[in-house]
Structures are given as C-alpha cells and as structure tokens.
Structure 1
Amino acid sequence: MSSKVRWGVLSTAQIGTKQVLPAMRKGERIELLGLASRDEAKAREAADALGIPRAYSSYEALLADPDIEAVYNPLPNHLHVPLTIQALEAGKHVLCEKPIALSAGEAETLVEASKRTGRLVAEAFMVRHHPQWRRARDVVREGRLGEVKAIHTLFSYYNADPGNIRNQADIGGGGLYDIGCYAISTARFLFGAEPARVVAAFDFDPAMGTDRMASGLAEFPGHRHLAFTCSTQLVPAQRVEVLGTKGRLTVEIPFNAPNDRPTRITVDDGRDHFGSGREVIEIPTVDQYTLQGDAFSAAVRGEAPLEWGIEDAVLNMRVIDAFFRSGRNGGWEAV
C-alpha cells in the first residue's frame, strides 16, 4: 500500500470532531495532519483532543499548506460550495458533507471546478460504504424479494434549538437538506436508477422558517416508488423497508449505524404476519466513517475508482430541488 493521504479539516463542527474524525483516525490510508477554524484557540483545542498536529487560524491558511492533500469540509451548508471550490483551486481533493450544495445549479459549479483543477470531489454519504447497505443491494439484485416496487423510509430527530445550524433557514437548514437527502440517496442506490417525478408536502416551523417535517413520493422507472417522511421535530426514529413481489427487507438502523456492535437487516418472505419466513442477517461491526475516508483516500492515490463522485451529488440535488418545487407548487414535479 502506498503512503497515507494527508488530510486537513475545515472547522470544528461537531459532526467532524465527535463522529467523522475519530473514525478517520483509525483509517489505514488516512493521516489527519491539520485542522482549521476562524478561532485559533478552538482549532488548537480540537486538534489537540484529536491528536492532529497542525492547527490553523483560518481556512485559507490550511488550504495554503502544501502538505495537505485532501480536505474534509463539514462547514454549514451554505459554505459547502465556496470553500470546496477554494480547496480545489488550492490543489486539494475534497470530501464534503451533505448536502453538497443548496441547489443542483450550485453543485454543477463543482463539476466544472473538479474538471478544471483535476481534483476529486465527493459528497459524504457514509451509509453507502456500510456493508449493511451493500448486502441489502445484493439481496435486491439476487431477486430474493422478487420485483422490488416500493421503498418506505423514516428518519427523524427532535431539535427545536433556534441557535442550531440545522434550524437556520438562511444557511441551508431544515429536514430535507439534513436527513431527507439520505432517503433519496439510498433509494437511488437500491433501485439503481433516477426518479422521473416527485411530489411533496412540507410543514415549516413558523418561527425558524425551516421545514420541520417533509413527506415525499418519488416515482422511478417501472412504476417503482420511494415514500418517505423526515422530520427535525419528531421522536428520534429511523427505518427503511424495501418491498418486493416475493419478500421484504428491513434495514433496522439504516443511517446512524453504530460503530460498537453489529447491525442487522432482515429478509421476510411474507408467508404470515408473525415472521415465520424471517431471516436475520447480521453485519459485523464496522465504522462507516472510517470506510468512507479510506475509500476516498484510495481514490486519491489512484488505487481504486471513486464510486460516487460529484456527478452523483448533482443527481441527488436535482431530486431535492424537485421536492422543494413540488412543495411550493402543490403538485408533481419532473426531476
């Protein structure tokens, strides 16, 4: 194996310091070299806590460091595109948190920037690297469920803090951007196709202006459907059900898969309502953030292809855009 990829991190965002970076430290292909914040003291404190040797008082200083090869961007949503472009132009590859942008048009500017700079960009949908999702896709492809016609997805948590970036409409807050994007991405992953049209219903928080609940229906070719509800102000819950003509599959903890215990998917042939035809498939313990970081690093080194590049992120954003248009117009919208 070639040398580890030297990574820099933009900001001390909690998704990074609490989840992604501790996992990346365990990666076989990853060296966490630097962390930047606009507050130097915060940068130093976070870097020390994570064992990262270099701390920077600005994002620009990190991007100017020639030793940094790849950048992880967990900044607030409205900063994903501008800072990713800055990183690309500084010669860095970029793994950017979801959503990659606030519109497909914004995301398309990253396609041009990636081509112009010759650097890789990917959206950090870590779930696609978890073997439970790869196993679920195998089950679908093997035909064990018959013809798969419907996916039902639920993802919710409760956060009504107006100071939280997820609840600030002007910087890209709201449930569809934050967690509804997972329902779209994983349905595209399992169906292996793009939806043709969508329809949605939204409930917006009257004080914060963010979508606190969104429900949607996406029609894929062959009259296959994704139906989902996501919410930032409901009891924490998540589940994915995949239904075919001969069986159904359940992903029990589809998105926040634990890194300290196995996960489970179940396949049921539907012979009765009591689970007599149920098979439980246990997936060994992994950390999906570690797998994601190692996969991106392998692509940087040219040792493996980048499975989901910036073009895939644009496709996901087009579906999100269509859902928002449907919410405004009250009917079906083409993707």
Structure 2
Amino acid sequence: MRIGVLGCASIAERRVLPALGLAAEIELAAVASRDPAKAARFAERFGCAAAAGYEELLDDPGIEAVYLPLPTGLHERWAERALAAGKHVLAEKPLTTSERATARLYDTARAAGLVLMENLMFVRHRQHREVAALVASGAIGEVREMTAEFGIPPLPEDDIRHVAALGGGALLDMGVYPVRAAQFHLGGPLDVVGGVRRYDPVRDVDVSCTAVLVSPAGVPARIAVGSERGYRASYTLWGAEGRITVERAFTPPPDHRPVVHIERQGVTEVRRLAPDDHFLALARRFASAVRGSLGPAEAAEDERQTLQQARTLDALAADTRRIPL
C-alpha cells in the first residue's frame, strides 16, 4: 500500500513514519507540507518524494492512502478532501473535534468504499489485553472503580495545542487516552457524571479536565488530564479483592517493557511484560483494513469505539464546570 503524508508534525517524525517504514505491507511514497524545506527534509530522511503541497499529493493517482498528522481542527477538512480524492485515510487522534463531524466522515468513507481510521495507537499495545485477561481471571475480583490519568509538562508558547481554532486544549489532546482506556476495560458508552475543566482565558483553551464517568454496568471511572504538570500516564483498576496499576500506559516506546503492579491483601506483585510497538501494530491494522483482510466486524467495532469516544469527549466539554486559571 503506497501512502502519502499530509503534514510534518513531530508525532509523524518521531513515531509514525518510522513505524510505517517497518511495515512490509506499506510503502511511504510522499510527504507534503506547507513548508517545502520541511517536506524536503522529511523526504530525505524517510526515503520518499516531497510533494509541492497537499493538493498535489492528493492528486497523485499512485497514492492509495494518506496519513494526517495535522492539528485536530484541520482533520475534518483534509480527511474529507482525501476521501473525495479516492484515498483511504489514517488520521491522528482525535479523528475530529466532535461526534457529529466524526459520524459524517465515517458515512462519507463508507459511501465511497474507503477506509477511515483513527490513529489512537495505545489500545493496540498487548499490555492492555494482558491486563484485561488478568481481570477476567479474577486476579482482583470484580472491578469496582477505575482511575486513569495523563499529564504532561508545560508546552512551548508557540505550540499549536494552545490555539483554540486548531482544536487545541488538554481535553481533545489528552482526554482521548483515559476515555478510551475506560471504554476498553469497562465497556461503553460512558456517561459523564460531572467534573471541572480549568482553562486559559487568554487563549480560550482548557489546560486540564478532572471528571467522573460511569459505565453501562454502573462502574465509575475517575479521569484526569492536563498540561503544566509532572508527566504521568497510568491507570488503575480497583477490584473487590485488589488493584492492578499500569504505568506508562499510553505512550510506551517500542523497546519499553511495561510494568504492571498487582496488589492483593497488602502484597504487591510486579510483572514486567514483553515490549510491543503499538505504532507498528496500528499501521499494520490500517493496511489490513485497506486490503480487506481486517474483516467487517472488526472495522465496525473500530468505528463504534471511535464514535463512543467522540460522544464522551463532547459530553465532557458540555457537562463539566469551566473555571478560569
């Protein structure tokens, strides 16, 4: 599958393009940027062509699919243009800024017989399936509550995540992780009970969100995300007989050996799991979907999970109290 890249974002350079290069099913054909010099630098590093602009890349009949690492607020526009050009689309998370826009894009892709997939890679890491298997085995008894947290240090002043018009803010940038982790382990859709979002009144973007969600079975999930704090990316499942905590749950590099803490009756067992490359796993899943080997049931489940996630993010934006810094 020959894929082109619209945009030269950091996540593309550091993680996704190297993963695409490892996937035998994928050939990185071209990269486009608003900055020709940046496109040329990316092209040289990753051994592909540099397109003169987004439209030129989309007009190339030899490119079957595109990857969009653009700011969130631009996903809808360029995913729609890519689908109109007959290209399959892999877009960075979140797929769009709303459930309504996400549903519309899926309808467009389905009508055109094209694949649309969100690049939320962490759920493809084996560690989460292994944790789910531990829970299913009764390792901590019936799950009573979940806590999920994702925090990062202050962003540079010129970071696009400070720009409201580009879909900036902590909720859209980081909220997808604890929300999707809760969906993965508790099921969905998740209802928002309440919460608080702190926001920057000058930039009009939220810098943190702390909220309580509840699963269809009535299990609560406490989530917290935010910038301007020490790094943390973890979740805990608290059961009737113990707790399981996963550290570095959302952003482990390919060579990282995940650490899982299992607490029972005052005794903590530490398990180190095998490394896994969730970026590569997601790239291969996308290629399988394009080639038709993923299966309609799995593709439908991907869409359902992404739409539920978008619905919860919409509810978090609407149903939490907004407090200025």
- TM-score where L is the length of structure 1: 0.91
Q: Counterparts in 2 of 1:50-61, with a 5 A limit?
A: 50-51=46-47, 53-61=48-56
Measured against aligned partners, the alpha-carbon deviations of 1:202-226 in whole angstroms (never above 9, x if no partner) come to 1112332211111010011222011
Q: Is 1:295–2:278 an aligned residue pair?
A: no
Measured against aligned partners, the alpha-carbon deviations of 1:227-282 in whole angstroms (never above 9, x if no partner) come to 0111111111222111111221111110111222311222222x11xxx2x33332
Q: Counterparts in 2 of 1:21-40, with a 5 A limit?
A: 21-40=17-36
Could you say which residue in structure 2 is the equivalent of 1:11? Answer: 7
> Is the 8 Å Cα contact of residues 175 and 214 (structure 1) preserved in structure 2?
yes
Cα distance in 2 for residues equivalent to 1:200 and 1:23:
37
Ranges of 4+ aligned residues in structure 1 off by more than 4 Å: none
Could you say which residue in structure 1 is the equivalent of 2:198? Answer: 203
> Is the 8 Å Cα contact of residues 197 and 220 (structure 1) preserved in structure 2?
no
Unaligned runs of 5+ in 1: 331-335
Could you say which residue in structure 2 is the equivalent of 1:116? Answer: 111
Where 1:200 maps in the other structure, the secondary structure is strand
> Is the 8 Å Cα contact of residues 243 and 263 (structure 2) preserved in structure 1?
yes
Cα distance in 2 for residues equivalent to 1:145 and 1:235:
29
Cα distance in 1 for residues equivalent to 2:20 and 2:146:
31
Where 2:244 maps in the other structure, the secondary structure is strand
Cα distance in 2 for residues equivalent to 1:279 and 1:160:
36
Identity of aligned residues (%): 32
Where 1:95 maps in the other structure, the secondary structure is strand
Q: Is 1:238–2:238 an aligned residue pair?
A: no
Could you say which residue in structure 2 is the equivalent of 1:310? Answer: 303
1:160 deviates by: 4.1
1:140 deviates by: 2.3
Question: Which shifted more, 278-287 or 170-179?
Answer: 278-287
Report how many residues are paired. Answer: 320
Where 2:225 maps in the other structure, the secondary structure is strand
Measured against aligned partners, the alpha-carbon deviations of 1:292-321 in whole angstroms (never above 9, x if no partner) come to 101111121122234553332221111011
> Is the 8 Å Cα contact of residues 192 and 214 (structure 2) preserved in structure 1?
yes
Could you say which residue in structure 2 is the equivalent of 1:182? Answer: 177
> Is the 8 Å Cα contact of residues 8 and 72 (structure 1) preserved in structure 2?
yes
Could you say which residue in structure 2 is the equivalent of 1:280? Answer: 270
Where 1:266 maps in the other structure, the secondary structure is strand
1:151 deviates by: 1.0
> Is the 8 Å Cα contact of residues 198 and 323 (structure 1) preserved in structure 2?
no
Where 1:240 maps in the other structure, the secondary structure is strand
Cα distance in 1 for residues equivalent to 2:62 and 2:139:
49
Cα distance in 2 for residues equivalent to 1:299 and 1:143:
34
- TM-score where L is the length of structure 2: 0.93
Could you say which residue in structure 1 is the equivalent of 2:248? Answer: 253
Where 2:140 maps in the other structure, the secondary structure is coil
1:78 deviates by: 0.9
Measured against aligned partners, the alpha-carbon deviations of 1:13-60 in whole angstroms (never above 9, x if no partner) come to 111012211122112322111111122222111111122x21112111
Cα distance in 2 for residues equivalent to 1:31 and 1:120:
17
> Is the 8 Å Cα contact of residues 197 and 322 (structure 2) preserved in structure 1?
no
Cα distance in 2 for residues equivalent to 1:321 and 1:141:
31
Measured against aligned partners, the alpha-carbon deviations of 1:52-110 in whole angstroms (never above 9, x if no partner) come to x2111211111111121121111011111111111112111111111111111111111
Alignment-mate amino acid for residue 277 of structure 2: D
CA spacing shift, 1:98–1:218, aligned 2, 3 Å: same
1:145 deviates by: 2.1
Q: Is 1:129–2:119 an aligned residue pair?
A: no
Cα distance in 2 for residues equivalent to 1:84 and 1:95:
8
Could you say which residue in structure 2 is the equivalent of 1:71? Answer: 66
Unaligned runs of 5+ in 2: none
CA spacing shift, 1:252–1:160, aligned 2, 3 Å: closer
Alignment-mate amino acid for residue 62 of structure 1: L
Alignment-mate amino acid for residue 137 of structure 1: A
